Every structure is written in structure tokens, then in C-alpha cells.
Amino acid sequence: MGARKRLTAEKRKEANKAVSLAKLNNVPTSPRKMRLVVDMIRGMEVFKALGVLKFSNKEAAARVEKLLRSAIANWEAKNERRAESGELYISLIKVDGGAMLKRLRPAPQGRGYRIRKRSNHVTLQVDTIKNDNQN
């Protein structure tokens, strides 16, 4: 590895040390359905977002709630203290398309219709509110 590449990699690692994130890969839900849930909580304070997810009737909300709890636990492990109410917020949450299972469904007159069973990847990052004001 060249010197320039190593320096940029080290800078990226230092920046990621301050970040607490959690990833959820290959969720067997379409990205469109997952984005409906994610858009409800984007930018919210984490404990308020947990309340919103708990009382949402969407199936994807339970998975995002579990992911958010994981991100909070990751932040607590990195900072070696408990998160307080009003301290953390969701700084980044995104949904990307995952692998697609392709199936054929029989159709009239000898045809076959293609069915795409979609999946997605969710990335969630939490940060402290005071860190956002310093930048």
C-alpha cells in the first residue's frame, strides 16, 4: 500500500472511531417498505424514535427498533457510559437495495411472470447532539 493511500485510510479509521453505527443486512423486505419506516425517524432523538417505532404497526418497524437499540448499545460501549435522554440523535439512516431472488409464477397461455423478491440493507448511525454543534 502506498503512503498516500495509507494516510487516507488512517484518517478514515480515526473518523470512524467517533462514530457509532449498526448495520442490518439482507432484510427480506422491499426497500420501499423499509424506507417508509426509516423516514418516520430520520433525524430524531433516539428515545423518541424508539417510542415511535414501538407503536408503529409496520412489520419493518420491529427490525429498525432492534437495530436502533444495537446502535445505542454500540455508542454506550465506545463511550463507556449510559446514554441519557436528549443526548443522542440519529445522524444517518439509509436503506440500500440488497440481493433479489428471482422467481417465475405460472401465467395463462403457457407464459410465466417474473416475481422479484427484494431485500435491503439498513445502515444507522447515532451521534451526540453537542458533537453536531461543534462541527
The secondary structure of residue 28, as a DSSP letter, is: S
Arithmetic mean of pLDDT over the chain: 92
- Determine contact, residues 132/91, Cβ cutoff 8 Å: yes
For residue 75, give every residue at least 6 positions away whose Cβ sits within 8 Å of its Cβ, in sequence order, or none: 20, 83, 88, 126
Q: Residue 135's pLDDT is what?
A: 47
Q: Is residue 5 part of a domain?
A: no
Please compute the mean of the pLDDT values over residues 108-124 and round it to a whole number.
96
Domain that holds residue 71: 21-134
When pLDDT is cut at 50, 70 and 90, the band that residue 134 belongs to is low
Query: DSSP E strands: which ranges in 53-107?
Result: 88-106
Residue-wise pLDDT for 34-72, tens only, equals 999 999 999 999 999 999 999 999 999 999 999 999 999
- The pTM assigned to this predicted structure is 0.84
We report the CATH number of the domain holding residue 31 as 3.90.470.10
**Ramachandran angles phi, psi of 111, nearest 5°:** -90, 170
Residue 12 lies in a domain: no
